[in-house]
Amino acid sequence: MRGPRQVQNSLQALESKVVACRRCPRLVAWREQVAAEKRRAYLDWTYWGKPVPGFGDPAARLLIVGLAPGAHGSNRTGRMFTGDSSGDTLYPALFRAGFASQPDATDRDDGLILKDAFITALARCAPPKNRPTVDEFDNCRPYLMREMALLSNVWVVLALGQLAFDGVLRTWREAGQDIPRLRFAHGAWYTFSPHHLILTASYHPSRQNTNTGVLTEAMLDQILGQIRDYLASRGDARE
C-alpha cells in the first residue's frame, strides 16, 4: 500500500497531466473562449481556462464526484465547485458535516482545506450548455479511474446527480468490477463487497435544483451526516 507522501506525489503528477490535457477540441475551444471573453462581473479576473483537477485529502475516506466544471465557476477559479452557486451550497454543507475547514469557497488560495474528503468530476473542462458528449466523457474517464486507484482509503463515494452516479458505475465496470444495474435516487445507499464500499447519491447542488426545492439544505445535510456517522462507525482500517 502506498504511503501518504507517495499518494500525494502521485496525485500531483496526475494533476499535471489533467491540467495539460487537450484531448477534446470542442471543450478546449469553449473553455478558452469563456476565459478570454469573461463575464462582466469577473472582468478583473484572470480565468483559469484549463482542465480542473480534483483536490482534497489524499487519505480521504469520502470521494465526491460531480459532473463538470462551471464556465464561470471552476473554469474561472481553477478548483472544483469554487466560485459558483453549486459550491455556495456544497461547501457550507461540507463544513457543517466536518469535511471542510470553512464554508466559503471563492478561489484556489482562499485557505479552504478538505478533511477526510476529496472532490472530483467526470469531466474536467467546462462544457457548452453544461453537457459533455459521450466521447468527451470517455476521454476523461481514465483520470477518474486513476484517482480512484490512488485514493485507496475511500469508503464512501457520493455521486452528485444522475450523470455522476452513472459515470461512477461505468468507471468501476471499466476497471473490471462486477457492478449490477442500479437505480439513481436521492439518498440511495448501495454497499459493495468485499470491503463494504458505499455508493450513495444526491441531487446535484445546482441553482436549478436548489431554487426549485428539488434539493434543500436539510436534504444535503442529511446525506452528509449519514456519511459522517458511517465513517465514524467504521474506523480507519478496512476488514
Span 122-158, pLDDT tens digits: 999 999 999 999 999 999 999 999 999 999 999 999 9
Interatomic CA distance for residues 8 and 5, integer angstroms:
5
Let me know if residue 54 belongs to a domain: yes
Closest CA to 67 of 130, 143, 145, 154: 130
> By the 8 A CB rule, do 101 and 111 touch?
yes
pLDDT in tens, 24-50: 999 999 999 999 999 999 999 999 999
What pLDDT, on a 0 to 100 scale, did the predictor assign at position 191? 94
Let me know if residue 90 belongs to a domain: yes
Let me know if residue 239 belongs to a domain: no
Q: Report the chain's mean pLDDT, rounded to a whole number.
A: 95
pLDDT in tens, 148-195: 999 999 999 999 999 999 999 999 999 988 888 999 999 999 998 766
* Higher-pLDDT residue of 3, 91: 91
What pLDDT, on a 0 to 100 scale, did the predictor assign at position 193? 75
Let me know if residue 70 belongs to a domain: yes
What pLDDT, on a 0 to 100 scale, did the predictor assign at position 4? 72
Let me know if residue 146 belongs to a domain: yes
Closest CA to 222 of 236, 194, 201: 201
Fill in the amino acid letter for 190. Y
Let me know if residue 209 belongs to a domain: yes
What pLDDT, on a 0 to 100 scale, did the predictor assign at position 1? 55
Mean pLDDT of 71-88: 97
- Looking at the 3D structure of the chain, how many domains does it have? 1
CB contact set of 92 (below 8 Å; sequence gap of 6+): 103, 104, 217
What pLDDT, on a 0 to 100 scale, did the predictor assign at position 236? 62
CB contact set of 211 (below 8 Å; sequence gap of 6+): none
What pLDDT, on a 0 to 100 scale, did the predictor assign at position 238? 47
Let me know if residue 80 belongs to a domain: yes
What pLDDT, on a 0 to 100 scale, did the predictor assign at position 194? 61
* Whether the predicted pLDDT of 117 surpasses 60: yes
State the residue range of the domain holding 26. 4-234
Q: What is the CATH number of the domain that holds 215?
A: 3.40.470.10
Mean pLDDT of 11-30: 98
What pLDDT, on a 0 to 100 scale, did the predictor assign at position 239? 43
